[in-house]
Chains A and B, each alone.
Chain A
Amino acid sequence: MNEPIPEPLPAALLALIDAEKRRPSPPVAETARVLARLQTSIAATGGAATVAVASGWWLKTLLGVALGLPAGAWLHATFAPAPPPAPPQIVYRDAPAPQPAPVLEPVAAPVPVPPAPTKRVAERPAPRPAVVDPGTLEAERQLLEAARAGLGRGNPAAALGHLERHHREHPSGALSEEREALWVQALAAAGNADAAREHARAFRAAYPQSFLTPLVDSASPP
């Protein structure tokens, strides 16, 4: 096929285009905020859901965002032709017996930090259900939001409590990927670098294509 060759650029535009090409890139702080919001949005629209439709996928995706969590779950259930295989679940063999989620304490109060998990075994849990119950998804989201809020307040122990509860109540939940990423962040924030590193390594192995990897890497560099 003979393709028309674009004419040379008009001289009147050349200097302007050159100047535009030198436009500075955005500061890291702004793009970091975008990444943090992506984490929440991905969680709110069904975690690692894959919306694969022949056309109009982007509109449906935006609709899911605009309508919020239940619609996101609905989109996941409706448009994902087959649920992706659930990633290997991280199991803490020598973790302590489940404890109730700690009540949020002031930052200065001494709060227990769960011991570092030392052994992990990758298992393949039951596949993620094709239809995610919106109520369950909302319960998951609330726990992760509470964990994220704890981190935001500088209270990683509270965050870890919520994450443990999520792990207990939704071990193969739709938002497991988000939980595990937050877990790394919380461990790092609690000063438990070894556990964070171990957890981050398991996260990367379990979710090799995760959008949340930069956050995990930021908390615990590979």
Chain B
Amino acid sequence: MTEVGASSQSPGVRAASVTASGEPLAALYQSEVGWVWNALKRLGAPSADLEDLAHDVFLAAHHARARFDPARPARPWLMGIAFRVLSDFRRLKRHHVEVPGDEVPDAAGEHDLEGALADRQQRAMLMRALDGLEPDRRAVFVAHDLEGLAMPQIAEAFEVPLNTAYSRLRLARENLTRAVEAMRTPGGAA
């Protein structure tokens, strides 16, 4: 199966680089749709709603294109939009609880079936642990530790003071570590 938007792309991808063709939003969609999709998943979007939410993120980006600064990295901007879209979704729909471990099997590029299975199990464990976090802490953890965004960019994207962002990251890591250790303990919350 063909894939798009390689998630391994440098998080520092700059809007300027995608505006070279003169079609910044179209290029932005093409280069970042895969990244946005996975970021939403990591932020806690239910799998069944990923398509709707990815649509909403890019629609919001389309309408906010006047605020799009091509001299700055695009991903923090998209991350902020994704976080707000997901927050609204949760507030309006009240069904934000993802079924733990609802990993959708995807054989794309997974020729090492054993390794792929191990990856899926580890991803499922991380997702279960993330589901126990407060959304604000989860968002900072996802943006920094999973997406590799810089803390000042994260603080700006989520519209919080830098120290608040650092505090959320520290608390998120502590909470996650405890949750993962509990899952790994025989008879724990696995």
User: B-contacting residues of A (Cβ < 8 Å)?
Assistant: 1, 3-4, 6-7, 9-10, 12-13, 15-31, 33-35, 37-38, 41-42, 45, 49-52, 57-59, 61-62, 64-65, 204, 208-214
Q: Are A13 and B65 touching (Cβ within 8 A)?
A: no
A204–B26 Cα distance when bound, in Å, is 11
Q: Closest 8 interchain pairs by CB?
A: A19-B122, A25-B34, A213-B26, A16-B126, A25-B3, A51-B63, A52-B66, A19-B119
Q: Are B63 and A45 touching (Cβ within 8 A)?
A: yes
Given the complex, which residues of A lie within 8 Å of B51, measured CB to CB?
A: 30, 33-34, 37
- B169 part of interface (Cβ distance < 8 Å): yes
5 new A-B contacts at CB < 8 Å, known A3-B151, A62-B56: A3-B152, A10-B173, A22-B119, A31-B54, A204-B23
Q: Tell me whether A16 and B122 are in contact in the complex, defined as CB-CB below 8 angstroms, given that A23-B41, A208-B23 are known contacts.
A: yes
Given the complex, which residues of A lie within 8 Å of B35, measured CB to CB?
A: 25
**Minimum CB–CB distance for B167 against chain A, Å:** 9
Given the complex, which residues of B lie within 8 Å of A49, measured CB to CB?
A: 63
Interchain pairs with CB closer than 8 A, number: 179
Partner of A34, one of B41, B42, B55, B125: B55
Given the complex, which residues of B lie within 8 Å of A30, measured CB to CB?
A: 37, 50-51
- The secondary structure that dominates the A interface is helix
A-B contact pairs, 11 of them (CB 8 A): A26-B4, A26-B5, A27-B1, A27-B4, A27-B108, A33-B51, A37-B51, A59-B84, A64-B63, A209-B25, A211-B62
Q: Are A28 and B63 touching (Cβ within 8 A)?
A: no
Partner of A58, one of B23, B64, B125: B64
**By CB atoms of chain B within 10 A, which of A6, A21, A24, A33 has the most?**
A24
Q: Are A13 and B59 touching (Cβ within 8 A)?
A: no
Q: Are B177 and A45 touching (Cβ within 8 A)?
A: no
- B58 part of interface (Cβ distance < 8 Å): yes
Given the complex, which residues of A lie within 8 Å of B54, measured CB to CB?
A: 31, 34
Q: Are B3 and A16 touching (Cβ within 8 A)?
A: no
A31–B66 Cα distance when bound, in Å, is 24
Given the complex, which residues of A lie within 8 Å of B176, measured CB to CB?
A: 10, 13
Q: Are B67 and A10 touching (Cβ within 8 A)?
A: no
Given the complex, which residues of B lie within 8 Å of A24, measured CB to CB?
A: 3, 7, 106, 108-110
Residue of B nearest to A60 (CB): B63
